[in-house]
Structure 1
Amino acid sequence: MDIRQIEFFVAVAEELNFTRAAELTHVTQSGLSSSIRSLERELRHQLFDRSPRSVALTPAGHAFLPRARRILADSRAALRELTSQQDATGALSLGAEQCLGDVIDLPDVLAAFRTRHPGVTIQFEQQGSLAVLDRVRHGKLDAGLIAELGSTPPRDREITSFEIARDGFELLLSPEHPLASTAISWPAFEAHPFVDLPDDWTARQIIDAAFRRRRLLRRSAVTAEDVHMLLDLVRRGLGPALVPASYAAKPQAEGLIRRPVPDSDLTWLVHFVARADASPTVQPFADMLIAAETVDEARTALGGNAAREAGRNVEIG
């Protein structure tokens, strides 16, 4: 999650109008709507009731609003403190894996960062996560966003990191694929070649490891280095794809069948990483990201609120 998602949520909650909220936050309405949907997926709660003529907060949205305002206030206080000390200037070199799903809207975050820190020049590059981590470790990049296999950040005294997201996996299918209308099981996957990401992508490594643990044969029909190409190939019936849930939620996946993975032990993590002695430009950028533990706390609080709402509804009924 990132600060811009919180800004978008608060704007919509206060305006109860997506068009006006988009104008106030200087983003397209489609970008704002996509960001709100991503936030709802991360929190696992619907925040707004939408109809063609009105927008209203759900009980979860009402519960999240004060927390969102506190997060924004803390972020703005940190920004004021940094600005009062010295405006950030210089360069920020940032790397990321090619596609981080809907975990973070990097173009929007980078644009917002430049607006707040016009004295910083940004250099951005995309590589595999291991390559990004290696370039951060050797000082060729100031910071990176990397997907990881395990449940812990890199164990390196020279690297500081925090988790910003974790995601499960889903099976994507064309409506005509045989698995779309049958029971899903891991042994059933052996009969079907997959549409896959390259084997140096973290998501692919997680899937391959899951097949090895189950001692199952795994076949690829085609490998695609672009997520949108992968979705199109699945749509054309070249095979199913196992992907992080945030990939499956992309607008480009509309019309595909989404199935939960049975007995899933697949987890896709994203960490922000930087050298412990990183450039001063890194901290203002890191402050625009929200640690996964903050999201977990909000999700837990919303779950408790939902339970209380359900209890009240039962008593009233």
Structure 2
Amino acid sequence: MSEIRMLKTFLAIEKHGTMAAAADRIALTHAAVGAQMRTLERVCQRQLFDRSGRSIQLNNAGRSIIEQARTVVAAYDSLLRGVADTHDIEGSITIGSTASSMGFLAANVILLKVAYPGLNVRLSHGSSADLERQVRVGAIDAAVIVGEPRTTTLPELWEDLYEEPLVLLANPAIAPDEASVSSLLKRYPFLGFEPASLTGTHVTSLLRRLRVEVSPVLEMNSIAAIADLVRQNVGISIVPRLRHAAWSEDPLLCVKPIPGTTWRRHIGWYEFGRQPRATAIVKQQLLTVLAK
């Protein structure tokens, strides 16, 4: 990048006052500095120095491009630092996730290996409450968990990633298009979401607003397991619509929106205390994919 070298020499002359002083500071001969500046003038198609006196000085045209030269050099140096940073990110970190978000997290961690070959991300799964506790005691570096929106300050950090609305999940064999949510809930066995969980409390509140009484045949804290039982036509359920599950293309699942429901399950990034720089890389990867 000869143009960048010339600009750096040009800025050294402006800083130190003369070509001779600049040459001494940047370890070039006076002749080499002079040759670079004549080349820079040809590139810019204008004279940048006043050579009429005993010493060579910047003229008005030269002074007019100083800030632009600084901007270009700074951008180039920033680019090089970015490339260096890519190779400097290495070592091991551990990121936790709930079961329903693990596929999303794992897929993006795999993508990061291309850009950051020295980075080793270990994955851990568990409940949101357990993962948050592990983050706070330093057992893991960060986690993708379920939680309500919160305003946090360092050392605690919560950042919303995405939301999932509650939907009714049924087997298409028992759920014609014209069937209402209430009629299906009254007619078929109900597969409940664990009532003590955050999602479970909102499902219970929704059923109360719908004025529907259900007697769950079982209660689970796994959306994937509930969806599999629905596929087998064991019953129906109200669950968050997983953002990264292709339910709409599944011939054994019927997904019905629930009129009047406003609550959304919030999936967020949680970390605590001073974290390795690599955790920010993982978080940014998730946010970049979600923004597409």
SS in 2 for 1:289: helix
Instruction: Report what 1:124 is aligned to.
Output: 123
CA distance in 1, matches of 2:91, 2:286: 20
After the TM superposition, which of the residue ranges 217-226 and 136-145 deviates more from structure 2? 217-226
- Which residue of 204, 207, 210 corresponds with 1:208? 204
Pick which of 122-131 and 232-241 moved more: 232-241
In the TM superposition, residue 89 of structure 1 has moved relative to its aligned partner by 1.9
Which residue is 1:92 aligned to?
Answer: 93
For the residues of structure 2 that align with 1:213 and 1:154, how far apart are their CA atoms?
28
The structure 1 residue matched to 2:281, chosen from 280, 284, 287, is 284
Contact 2:193 2:203 in 1 (8 A): no
Q: CA deviation at 1:169?
A: 1.9
Letter in 2 for 1:261: I
Give, as a single letter, the amino acid of the residue that structure 1 aligns with 2:141: D
Where 1:171 maps in the other structure, the secondary structure is: strand
Report the CA distance between 1:277 and its aligned residue.
0.8
Trace 1:166-245 onto structure 2 (pairs within 5 A). 166-177=163-174, 181-185=178-182, 189=185, 192-199=188-195, 201-212=197-208, 217-245=213-241
Residue identity in the other structure for 2:229 = L
Q: Is the 8 A contact 1:231 1:253 kept in 2?
A: no
The answer to whether the 8 A contact 2:105-2:286 is kept is: no
Q: 1:88 to 1:236 in 2, by over 3 A?
A: same
Preserved CA contact (<8 Å) 1:180 1:257: no
TM-score, normalised via structure 2 length: 0.61
Deviation string 1:84-118 (CA, Å, 9 cap, x unpaired) is 246112211110111138xx722221111223222
Identity of aligned residues (%): 17
Once residues 232 and 251 of structure 2 are traced to their aligned partners in structure 1, the CA distance between those partners, rounded to angstroms, is 13
Q: Which residue of 1 aligns with 2:134?
A: 135
Partners of 2:152 and 2:158 within 8 A in 1? no
Once the two structures are TM-superposed, the CA of residue 129 in structure 1 deviates from its matched residue by 1.0
| Superimposed CA distance per residue, residues 272-297 of structure 1 (whole angstroms, 9 cap, x where no aligned partner) | 111241122211112212179x84xx
Q: Is the 8 A contact 2:167 2:258 kept in 1?
A: yes
* CA RMSD, 1 decimal: 3.4
Q: Provide the C-alpha distance between the structure 2 equivalents of 1:234 and 1:283, rounded to a whole number of angstroms.
A: 38
In structure 2, which of residues 237, 242, 245 is the aligned counterpart of residue 246 of structure 1?
242
**Secondary structure in 2 aligned to 1:118?**
coil
Number of aligned pairs? 214
Question: C-alpha displacement at 1:253, in angstroms?
Answer: 3.8
Structure 1 residues 236, 289: closer, same or farther in 2, change over 3 A?
A: closer
Shift of residue 218, structure 1, vs aligned partner:
3.9
Contact 1:228 1:252 in 2 (8 A): no
CA deviation digits over 1:206-231, x for unaligned, max 9? 31243356675343212345444322
* One-letter amino acid of the structure 2 residue matched with residue 221 of structure 1: V
Q: Which has the higher contact order (CA 8 A, sep 6+)?
A: 1
Following superposition, the deviation at residue 172 of structure 1 comes to: 1.3
**SS at structure 2 position matched to 1:254:** coil
Partner of residue 111, structure 1:
110
Whether contact under 8 Å (1:94, 1:144) holds in the other structure is yes
User: Which residue type is aligned with residue 199 of structure 2?
Assistant: A
Q: Tell me the distance in 2 between the aligned counterparts of 1:211 and 1:182.
A: 17
User: What is the TM-score of this pair, normalised by structure 1?
Assistant: 0.57
Look up the match of 2:272.
275
CA distance in 2, matches of 1:79, 1:196: 53
